[in-house]
Amino acid sequence: MKYSFGLAALAAACVLADEDACTCHTIEDVEAPVISPSTVTSSTANTTNVFAPAPAPGVDTHDIASVVPQTQVSLHYGSNLTTSATVNVTHTMKYPTVVLEQIASIVSVDCSSTSVAMTFNNSDVFDTTQAAWIADGTMVFITNHLGDCDPVLERGFFLSNSLSFNNSTLIATASSMKANVSSTAATTEITFGNIPTSDLAKRTSTITWDPSYSLTPAISLPADTTLYSYPPYLTVTADTASFASNFTFSGYLKYDWLALSLEDLYFDIDIGFSAALELTAEVAASYNQTFTYAPSSLFYDFTVPGILTIGPELIFAVDAEVYASAQTTLTTGVEVDLADGIVHVDLLHESNTNTSGWTPTYSANANISGMAEAQINPTAKLTVEIEISIFGGLIDLSTGLTAKPGFTNDFILTGNAGVDLTGYEDLTNNSTCANGLAIDSEFVFDLSAFATEWYSTDLYSVDVPILKKCFEFTK
């Protein structure tokens, strides 16, 4: 079974309101070269974060009630690296179940292929247990690294069909066999992070998303990194390029072991993204190219051994469409901040997929020298891809989010085609642009969500004119 969904943002190449004044060339998707450089400065390295069995918060292990078998059990997992993030796995069991780690009086557990022997240190608890447990029926015991019962960092499941109690040694022995989640549970729910769901309206930037799983990677390219070079036509240099991101996610999954089907699966992703880019494109002759520069991937493993592996991957990239009709130097500077992007992606119920925030703040400038009709449309892209594998590969999921704010800059020279604009500053505004330089600059940002197998939907789109002017030659 493979599920995947993603969020992709697309930058429109060019939108012009006043088509009489200027011509607009739409640059379509081309088979763009993808360049991977060798040097990148990164504040964060690939990390692995292991979530091990942890005590359930708020459970009093001395409470005599914890010996009573239950059909719903919640098991917790915590990380020694990320104290704010927890994983809560709740099983609705087919049989009455006891979580041995929740009984303080059980001081040791010894397992074999046919038995689980539990030693108590308190005869009152032992007597109560003897009355509560089902001596001649089916029960499930869940162990947690007490003795030889389960792999390191995992819990063990044992299916018992009879029990014996030794009043002098205070040992209860189950005649049992090793089992697992799929053979003992009816449904399993996994919650990671605790962001309240279907609660998007209440969210504001002041809410603390705790506990949840957060990453704050940042990378920057060395100054004057050549992003793309296609001699002799085009060289694109990043005078500066830096990216930073805040990324927090949580999610929920419900699996039905009887029907072998996924009942529910959603993610809540909060993201902050900032990018500063300054690009120079040197075009030596009429040229038109789209390229992608993918400087870095950062992988983060979030592992609950035996249960769940989530591998967020953060990919930063720069795209640019460059077109010029003649020899030209184009520069553009872009700063974008997305402070509070929130997405709720429901894989099974498209109508619950929702987004809020994503309000960008930005500034941009562009400059041309040369004699040309030209475009430079840079986009700074952050892709968050989440790979999730559950129950040792029973469910494999790949999911993503791409935030791709872009700027389009069209420069169109009209009239005196021979005028060299280098250093030309004495320009006046003129909407007809019969004899001058038209600049049309926009901020474009689209966000769409898709669950590959099921749906694709547009979530968010903004298209803001920044500068739309005709500078007329007055010299």
Ligand X SMILES: *[C@@H]1O[C@H](CO)[C@@H](O)[C@H](O)[C@H]1NC(C)=O
Tokens of 100: 């041995």
Q: Which two tokens stand for residue 429?
A: 């505004």
Q: Give one word for 306, left, alpha or beta, with left for phi > 0 and alpha for psi -120 to 50.
A: left
Nearest approach, Cβ of 25 to ligand X (angstroms)?
3
Q: How far is the CB of 209 from ligand X (least distance, A)?
A: 10
CA distance linking residue 434 with residue 253, whole number of Å: 61
Of 45 and 232, the one with the shorter C-beta distance to ligand X is 45
Listed in sequence order, the DSSP H helices in 45-156 are 123-132
In 135-221 the beta strands, taken as DSSP E runs, fall at 139-144, 155-166, 171-179, 185-192, 213-215, 218-220
User: DSSP for 229-253?
Assistant: EETTTEEEEEEEEEEEEEEEEEEEE
Least distance from C-beta 300 to ligand X, angstroms? 9
**Residue 96 or 392 with smaller CB distance to ligand X:** 392
Identify which of residues 130 and 452 has a Cβ nearer to ligand X in the complex. 130
Q: Minimum Å distance from CB 321 to ligand X?
A: 8
By the 8 A CB rule, do 34 and 429 touch? no
Cβ contacts of 131 within 8 Å, gap of 6 or more: none
Measured distance CA(216)–CA(211) in Å, rounded:
15
Nearer to ligand X by C-beta: 248 or 399?
248
Sequence-ordered list of residues with C-beta below 8 angstroms from that of 104, at least 6 positions apart, any chain: 61, 62
Whether 236 and 229 have beta carbons less than 8 Å apart is answered as yes
Least Å distance between CB 145 and ligand X? 11
Taking CB atoms, the residue at the shortest distance from ligand X is 272
C-beta closer to ligand X: residue 244 or 397:
244
From the CB of 75, what's the least distance to ligand X, in Å? 9
User: Half-sphere exposure of residue 305, counting CA atoms within 13 Å on the CB side?
Assistant: 14
Applying CB under 6 A, which residues contact ligand X?
25, 27-28, 30, 42, 45-46, 50, 52, 57, 74, 80, 88, 90, 104-105, 107, 121-122, 127, 130, 166-169, 179-180, 182-183, 189, 191, 200-201, 216, 244-246, 272-274, 288, 297-299, 323, 339, 351-352, 354, 356, 367, 369, 392, 422-423, 428, 430, 432, 434-435, 472
Rounded least distance, CB 464 to ligand X, Å: 20
CB-based contacts of 187: which residues, under 8 Å, 6+ apart? 91, 92, 254, 255, 256, 257, 258, 263
Q: Which C-beta is closer to ligand X: that of 199 or that of 453?
A: 199
